[in-house]
């Protein structure tokens, strides 16, 4: 993100930045990692460093796993409630053993790689251990005059403290639609009521792949352009945001170039046609 040049039009700079950010954010799947399938649906990627833990599980859990070259198969009950109970107990055991560093008490849907089959539900912080796909929504918001809303993350956050973010965003919880999840996040993080903003058609989903301390991250990010009504002022309600700013498209791009914006927010903002096509004056 160091190739900024004011000689290039803003839309060209945004396009180039997006290519660079995506290249930095995604990594090839490690050759020694293992494909995870649940009931024969491919859904995860397990790093070699996580295999010893899985192969040393107590019999209660181990009998459900089968290991073969390049592949791990997890066979669960056909009953969804029984599946979720097993996954909850496995996640709790991983947390007790220190394989999971935090416990968010938030359930996410486990989906196959196509995103169409829900295989169960599990604790959010369990997903990286098995390389399961998480879904994240972002509100890339602007005012009627074309300025961009940025939110400074609380300096108390463990991830990217103090960096700039989109107006609101977060994980899609179990059973939620993308829009329902985003409206909830906008309410919690920006304090805006439904009549104070308009969700526009989302940009194409972007998939980010990379190793993280807990295992493998596979995250599908969905960004909605959001038009905030005149006079509406975002106010954080959950302590996640320090402050909000309205900045010009030029200033937003500059902050991304300077590394002051989170990777996820950079992708969200730069992938939006309404952002890239702003007036270059």
| pLDDT for 156 | 87
pLDDT higher than 70, residue 278: no
Query: What is the model's pLDDT at position 280?
Result: 42
Per-residue pLDDT tens for 137-193? 999 999 999 899 999 999 888 788 999 999 999 999 999 999 999 999 999 999 999
Contact status, residue 18 vs residue 1, Cβ threshold 8 Å? no
pLDDT given for residue 222 in this prediction: 95
Q: What global pTM score does this model have? A: 0.89
Q: CA 226 to CA 179: how far, in whole Å? A: 11
Q: Residue 7 pLDDT > 60, yes or no?
A: no
pLDDT score of 281 more than 60: no
Could you give the CA distance from residue 36 to residue 45 in angstroms, rounded to a whole number?
Answer: 6
Reported as a pLDDT band with limits 50, 70 and 90, residue 5 is: very low
Give the pLDDT of residue 12: 85
Tokens standing for 103?
Answer: 């416990």
Average pLDDT over residues 267-279: 67
Q: Among 150, 161, 153, 139, which Cα is nearest to 252's?
A: 150
Residue 277 has what pLDDT? 52
* φ and ψ at residue 204, rounded to 5 degrees: -60, 140
Q: Which residues of 65-97 are buried (b: 16+ CB within 10 A; e: fewer)?
A: eeeeeeebebebeeeeeebbebbbebbebbbee
Cβ atoms of residues 154 and 241 within 8 Å: yes
State pLDDT tens for residues 8-46: 688 888 888 999 998 888 899 999 999 999 999 999 999
pLDDT digits (tens, 9 = 90+) for 46-86: 999 999 999 999 999 999 999 999 999 999 999 999 999 99
Residue 4: the pLDDT is 46
Helices (H), 26-126: 51-55, 59-62, 80-96
Distance between CA atoms of 130 and 151, rounded to whole angstroms?
31
CA distances from 79 to 75, 84, 88, 122, 175 (A): 12, 9, 14, 15, 17
Q: How confident is the model at residue 273 (pLDDT cuts 50, 70, 90)?
A: low
- Residue 157 has a pLDDT of 85
Q: What are 79-133's pLDDT values in tens digits?
A: 999 999 999 999 999 999 999 999 999 999 999 999 999 999 999 999 999 999 9
């Amino acid at each position: 993100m160091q190739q900024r040049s004011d000689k290039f039009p803003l839309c060209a700079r945004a396009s180039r930045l997006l290519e660079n950010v995506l290249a930095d954010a995604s990594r090839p799947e490690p050759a020694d990692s293992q494909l995870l399938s649940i009931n024969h649906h491919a859904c995860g990627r397990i790093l070699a460093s996580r295999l010893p833990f899985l192969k040393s599980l107590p019999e209660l859990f181990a009998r459900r796993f089968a290991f073969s070259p390049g592949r791990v198969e997890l066979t669960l009950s056909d009953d969804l409630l029984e599946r979720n109970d097993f996954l909850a107990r496995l996640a709790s055991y991983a947390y007790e053993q220190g394989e999971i560093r935090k416990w968010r008490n938030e359930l996410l849907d486990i989906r196959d790689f196509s995103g169409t089959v829900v295989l169960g539900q599990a604790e959010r912080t369990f997903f990286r251990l098995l390389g399961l796909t998480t879904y994240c929504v972002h509100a890339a918001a602007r005012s009627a005059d074309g300025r961009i809303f940025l939110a400074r993350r609380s300096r108390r956050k463990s991830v990217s403290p103090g960096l700039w973010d989109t107006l609101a965003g977060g994980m899609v919880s179990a059973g939620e639609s993308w829009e329902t999840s985003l409206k909830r996040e906008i309410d919690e993080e920006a304090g805006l009521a439904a009549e104070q903003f308009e969700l526009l058609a989302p940009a194409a989903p972007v998939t980010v792949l990379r190793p993280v301390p807990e295992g493998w991250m596979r995250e599908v990010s969905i960004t909605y352009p959001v038009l905030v009504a005149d006079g509406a002022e975002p106010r954080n309600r959950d302590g996640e945001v320090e402050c909000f700013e309205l900045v010009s498209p030029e200033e937003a791009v500059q902050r991304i170039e300077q590394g002051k914006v989170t990777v996820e927010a950079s992708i969200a903002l730069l992938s939006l046609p309404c952002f890239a096509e702003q007036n270059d004056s």
